[in-house]
Amino acid sequence: SQQGEEDPQALSIQEGENATMNCSYKTSINNLQWYRQNSGRGLVHLILIRSNEREKHSGRLRVTLDTSKKSSSLLITASRAADTASYFCATQSGNNDMRFGAGTRLTVKP
């Protein structure tokens, strides 16, 4: 069964704007990760946040995790056309398996 559910399913913004994507999950986790996928390609890891962390930054990315609400958000600041891609959250549980959500398709218009 799948774990994460992202929303929105699709997001279209102008270059320079911020993009926020959300992810909800159902079971307890060890960590939550965000990945990016360009059309037709494999996924690329962006950032990992552990279950005992609340916020993490990496460049223009900011991730939050609320384990009480079983939700996470990914914020991309000052978006660029090159950020256009699908973004997936993935949850990792005790046995190391990794489950992905359906993704958010982000379009950044130049």
Partner 1 sequence: NAGVMQNPRHLVRRRGQEARLRCSPMKGHSHVYWYRQLPEEGLKFMVYLQKENIIDESGMPKERFSAEFPKEGPSILRIQQVVRGDSAAYFCASSPPRQGANVLTFGAGSRLTVL
What type of residue is 25? Answer: Y
Closer to partner 1 by Cβ: residue 68 or 97: 97
Q: Which two tokens stand for residue 80?
A: 């660029």
Query: Is there binding between residue 75 and partner 1 (CB under 8 A)?
Result: no
What three-state secondary structure class fits 28? coil
Q: Return phi, psi of residue 82, to 5°.
A: -70, -10
Q: Which stretch binds partner 1 (CB under 8 A): 11-19, 26-34, 58-66, 72-80?
A: 26-34
Q: Site residues for partner 1, window 4-23 (CB under 8 A)?
A: none
- List beta partners, residue 37: 43, 86
* Binding residue (CB under 8 A) for partner 1 from 11, 65, 85, 90: 90
What three-state secondary structure class fits 49? strand
Query: Is there binding between residue 88 and partner 1 (CB under 8 A)?
Result: yes
* Binding residue (CB under 8 A) for partner 1 from 56, 73, 99, 107: 99
- C-alpha 32/C-alpha 25 separation (Å) is 10
Q: What is the DSSP letter of 83?
A: G
Query: Is there binding between residue 31 and partner 1 (CB under 8 A)?
Result: yes
> Rule CB under 8 A: which residues touch partner 1?
1-2, 30-31, 33, 35, 40-45, 48, 50, 88, 90, 92, 95-103, 105
